[in-house]
């Protein structure tokens, strides 16, 4: 699809940096969705749902197949609990202290939508 334009459904500087390193042309359009974890939702299901929902929200503005919408979500999990985004410096330091010396997982889900 040579005429397809890539839309990055993210405000993440790291995701933009990765595409820039690949010299990929894209437009950035962050998804504005509720990122709350549903009750009883396991971390792997949650991260996959977030990537899909980000794509879905942005694809309404950039419909496939003229556009390919790319989204990803990453979470840190410790003891089966997803750590959310830190609320500030103190919260970030508390999270780092909680993770220090303890086994944890980092899960990333990627979703690419090229067709309706």
Active-site residues, by number, are: 73
Distance CA 102, CA 105 (A): 10
Distance CA 90, CA 57 (A): 32
- Locate 104 and state its tokens: 């944890």
Phi, psi of 8 (to 5 degrees): -95, 115
Distance CA 65, CA 107 (A): 28
């Amino acid at each position: 699809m040579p005429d397809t334009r890539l839309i990055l459904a993210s405000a993440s500087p790291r995701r933009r940096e990765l595409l820039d390193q690949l010299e990929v042309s894209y437009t950035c359009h962050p998804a504005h969705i509720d990122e709350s974890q549903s009750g009883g939702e396991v971390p792997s299901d949650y991260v996959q749902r977030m990537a899909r929902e980000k794509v879905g929200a942005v694809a309404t503005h950039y419909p496939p197949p003229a556009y390919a919408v790319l989204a990803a979500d990453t979470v840190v999990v410790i003891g089966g609990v997803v750590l959310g985004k830190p609320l500030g410096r103190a919260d970030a330091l508390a999270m780092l202290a909680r993770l220090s010396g303890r086994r944890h997982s980092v899960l990333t889900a990627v979703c690419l939508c090229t067709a309706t």
